[in-house]
Amino acid sequence: MIVIEDRQSLDSWVEQSRMWGGKVGFIPTMGALHEGHLALVREAKKTCTQTIVSIFVNPTQFGPEEDFSQYPRTFEKDRALLEEIACDAVFLPSPEVIYPPGGQTYVAVEPLASQLCGASRPGHFQGVATVVTILLNLVRPHAAYFGVKDYQQLTLIKQMVRDLAMAVEVVGVPIVREEDGLALSSRNRYLTAKERQQATALYKALLAAQSLFKNGELKAIKLEKAARKILYESGIEQIDYVEVRHRKTLACQLSVEDPVMLIAAKVGKTRLIDNMVLST
């Protein structure tokens, strides 16, 4: 596996990979890789001739009070994991490669970026949309892979690619979970043993809402209330949101149709997110 750090090396790798009809699959990450990330690489390898993962802890998507400086950076382990599954290349840019001095442009996907996670993390999705645009322009992949775990992010990127007529296929990959249902996340390592136990309530809350929906409950407020109850009962009090939205547009609905439930809550100091399409 080749490790690429600068733009020139990336350009030649991309040129070569696209030659003779090669299909490039791209997986943007912030590192601290786990099975969730590897599932994206495995999905890419099914149809792409070359796969490239980027590892970049993007400063512009962290708020001033968030964990940018503490975010886990485990490059040697990440590299070994990627080698093991025969990923072809890893792009490891410095902040200057992504944001050359003097930049003035950003990407705003509104109003999608200001809702849900965007409401409590102002600027987060502008940072995400901008860095993903820059990365897509640098890597020029045929397909880019994102986890359904970050549902709002995936929806926003699909919207952006459509709005800006970007020539890339966006592929969503299902959530990889621990055996007890907790969605894998680089931030799970912050949880204490007790919090780790409490964190399973997010999945249980989603399952409860799904079961209610399947039994005919169509009122968003009832589904949300049932999920909240499970979170409270497990001792999770800092709930950012529990919302049922339209699966494709994330529009609010009183009486739900094709719904997804999205949850964000703090377990101790760690903010976790999860979601479930209720009809599946």
Report the catalytic residues: 37
Stretch that binds ligand AMP, among 4-12, 37-45, 83-91, 266-274 (CB under 6 A): 37-45
Helix (H) or strand (E) holding 196: helix 193-198
Comparison of 40 and 223: residue with beta carbon closer to ligand AMP: 40
Contact status: 271 vs ligand AMP (CB under 6 A): no
CA atoms within 13 A on the CB side of 247: 11
- Between residue 44 and residue 63, which ones bind ligand AMP under the rule CB under 6 A? none
Distance between CA atoms of 89 and 83, rounded to whole angstroms? 9
3-state secondary structure of 223: helix
Contact status: 259 vs ligand AMP (CB under 6 A): no
Q: Please, what is the minimum distance in Å from the beta carbon of residue 128 to ligand AMP?
A: 9
Q: Which of 186, 188, 210, 270 binds ligand AMP (CB under 6 A)?
A: 186
Query: Which residues contact residue 230 at a Cβ distance below 8 angstroms, ignoring those fewer than 6 apart?
Result: 201, 204, 205, 208
Within its chain, how far is the Cα of 159 from the centroid? 15
Q: Identify the CA nearest to 166 among candidates 131, 148, 142.
A: 142
Contact status: 136 vs ligand AMP (CB under 6 A): no
Q: What type of residue sits at position 85?
A: I
Comparison of 115 and 186: residue with beta carbon closer to ligand AMP: 186
Q: Which of 40, 170, 202, 267 binds ligand AMP (CB under 6 A)?
A: 40
Give the interface with ligand AMP as residue ranges (CB under 6 A).
29-30, 36-37, 39-40, 146-147, 149-150, 173, 175-176, 183-186
